[in-house]
Chain A
Amino acid sequence: AQSVTQLDSQVPVFEEAPVELRCNYSSSVSVYLFWYVQYPNQGLQLLLKYLSGSTLVKGINGFEAEFNKSQTSFHLRKPSVHISDTAEYFCAVSATGTASKLTFGTGTRLQVTL
């Protein structure tokens, strides 16, 4: 079984500042990793994913994440945030090889202010 830990429940940041949202996972098998964003009263939108290959993954809206197998981490970063980035961000993991289900972290609320 897999598990995901998002240590920060809330991250306040000023507009145009950089941000990092942390995600650590636990698994006895190889994994795929995902970051999703959720705006109020909406479903989830995929920001980026790591399936294989380069450990630095670039996604939509200027976000990127780096897969670090030794540290079992997949932190999400953005060099300069906007007010519109205010949302809930979820890290998720699934086992590779099979089309298995996603396990989500508890989410991080990114609050961007002027």
Chain B
Amino acid sequence: GAVVSQHPSWVICKSGTSVKIECRSLDFQATTMFWYRQFPKQSLMLMATSNEGSKATYEQGVEKDKFLINHASLTLSTLTVTSAHPEDSSFYICSARGTGATYNEQFFGPGTRLTVL
């Protein structure tokens, strides 16, 4: 139980294009999902908290107009990197908060490797 998937697992795009990453909770409903960014050999940095049916809460320093987050259903949140540039290349990981007994846990997706050329 508590499986989170991400799609795509990796993507290469040209500078200036937009890329959408999907995060799905496969066997539970997630009212809250989180988006993280991880640079090589570094820790995870929280980008934003996504709540179903409401606007995402972005961490300080994260451009909300560049990283668009939509949490339209209880099983799907999307992160769109708009007008991507090489400096946006990174490993993006989502997580979903558990429910019931696992409410205080986050379940992580496998990550999406974004490379912007």
Chain A contacts with B in 86-114, Cβ cutoff 8 A: 90, 94, 96, 99, 101-107
Q: Which residues of B contact A46 (CB under 8 A)?
A: 105, 107
Q: Which residues of A contact B44 (CB under 8 A)?
A: 44, 90, 104
- Flag if B43 contacts A99 (CB, 8 Å): no
Q: Known contacts A43-B93, A46-B105, A49-B105; is A99 also within 8 Å of B111 by CB?
A: no
Q: Which residues of B contact A49 (CB under 8 A)?
A: 104-105
Interface string of B85-114 (1 = CB under 8 A from A): 000000101010100000111111111010
Of A32, A36, A43, A94, which is within 8 A of B110 by CB? A43
Minimum CB–CB distance for B35 against chain A, Å: 11
Q: Which residues of B contact A104 (CB under 8 A)?
A: 43-44
Closest to A96 in B: B104
Minimum CB–CB distance for A25 against chain B, Å: 14
Closest to B101 in A: A51
Interface string of A42-59 (1 = CB under 8 A from B): 111110010100000000
- Flag if B46 contacts A102 (CB, 8 Å): yes
Q: Which residues of A contact B25 (CB under 8 A)?
A: none
- Flag if A106 contacts B111 (CB, 8 Å): no
Is B77 at the interface (CB under 8 A from chain A)? no
Is A41 at the interface (CB under 8 A from chain B)? yes
Is B34 at the interface (CB under 8 A from chain A)? yes
For the complex of A and B, the 6 pairs showing the least CB-CB separation, nearest first, are A43-B108, A44-B108, A43-B110, A104-B43, A43-B111, A106-B43
